[in-house]
Amino acid sequence: MNDQCPRCREYADEGRSFCGACGRDLRSDVGSGSYSVRTQDAQGAVPEKQQAGFVETVLLVTCIFVIFIAAFEAFTMVVNSWDIFSFLSDRSLGFFLLLPFPQVIFSLEGLALQIYWVLVAIVLLSCVAIAIWKFISAVKSSGNVLKQGATENTAAFWVCVFLAAMMFINFIITSIVIASGSDVTVPDFGDKIEMMFLLADAPFWEEIAARVLFIGLPMALISLVVYRKKESLRCLIGGFGMSTTAVVLIIISGAIFGMAHYSGWDEQWWKVLTAGIMGIFLGYMFVRFGLYASMLTHFVINYLSSFDWMGAGGFEVFMSLALIVVGFFALYYILKRLVDSKEAINALPAFYNGFIKK
């Protein structure tokens, strides 16, 4: 049983096909450390776990590719960390709340900003390392990365799904915008070093400002009222499991995240839509896996230019095209999961905190 959702066994014992708390498919084996729910045949033998289907296989292979991308992005950040550190010596940065019209609440400059950069780098590198470690553990536990359910319950797998889906969605929306005669522009983030800093800062600070503030904090406060236990505060770092309340907060957080990008992207309406969808994906990662997973997803998406920065622009073009193609399968997988999980969605509790042991 996944230690983040102790209710999977409860739903399995009731004969349910899906967990009403986290939405896990209980009809087949799942990944590392999870509860195995398999039906027996007429002779009472447990059938062998099946191979993943075509779509799942495409996503699993792409997942390994995305892990390589994440590792390369982390390498890029490390290689350029000193240049970024030096660049910040005479710079300042305003920190804002992600409201429809972002409001700066405080600023850092000089040495304080440099120390902040060290913190950001350490946290993001830790997120990459944790995700890779959990993915490898899941593969070792299953014995075969291509077995059905081998890695679908790892953050790395869903980073792959959401990255590919976002690439496909961005491609479709920007194509429509261009076809309609509107301009698609990208804000000026400055030179390469400044861009590296800003695109690393966003996964750190924006996840705190959007996911922790608009999902984790409300869940923690509600949990304190409902359970009156100190474990409620663990909701601040996510990973507490799905519920109707969590779904509502994910949508609210995603909408605020989308609207907050309007002014920063030259007031282009399409960015509100794509950022809003991305915000919902990030909210799901936060609720299901925790803050490290939403930061990782945000970082991988933001740092895709790493190959260009490191002189491998040709590979970046190939990578982008490949992810757009896989994005079609990723969207199909997401929609299929939603349809197949109808029972679990209907069974979602009004509120749930997986950290509280009853």
**Per residue in 282-308, pLDDT tens?**
999 999 999 999 999 999 999 999 999
Structure tokens at 14: 């009731």
d(CA 125, CA 292): 10
pLDDT at site 68: 97
- Provide the residue-wise pLDDT of the chain in tens; the chain has 358 residues: 344 465 576 556 545 555 655 656 565 444 333 444 344 444 444 344 466 689 989 999 999 999 999 999 999 999 999 999 999 999 999 999 887 777 889 999 999 999 999 999 999 999 999 999 999 999 888 877 777 777 889 999 999 999 999 999 999 999 999 999 888 887 777 899 999 999 999 999 999 999 999 999 999 999 999 999 999 999 999 999 999 999 999 999 999 999 988 877 777 888 899 999 999 999 999 999 999 999 999 999 999 999 999 998 889 999 999 999 999 999 999 999 888 888 778 888 999 999 987 6
Q: Tokens representing 246?
A: 């969590």
Residue 346: how many other CB atoms lie within 10 Å: 9
Distances (CA, A) of 172 to 166, 169, 331: 10, 5, 12
Contact 167, 266 (CB under 8 A): no
What's the whole-model pTM score? 0.86
Q: How far, in Å, CA of 165 to CA of 279, rounded?
A: 13
For position 9, what pLDDT does the model report?
63
- Which pLDDT value is given to residue 36? 41
pLDDT at 25: 57
pLDDT of residue 31: 38
Judged by phi (left if over 0) then psi (alpha if -120 to 50, else beta), residue 266 lies in left
Backbone angles phi, psi at 25, to 5 degrees: -75, 115
Residue 151's pLDDT is what?
86
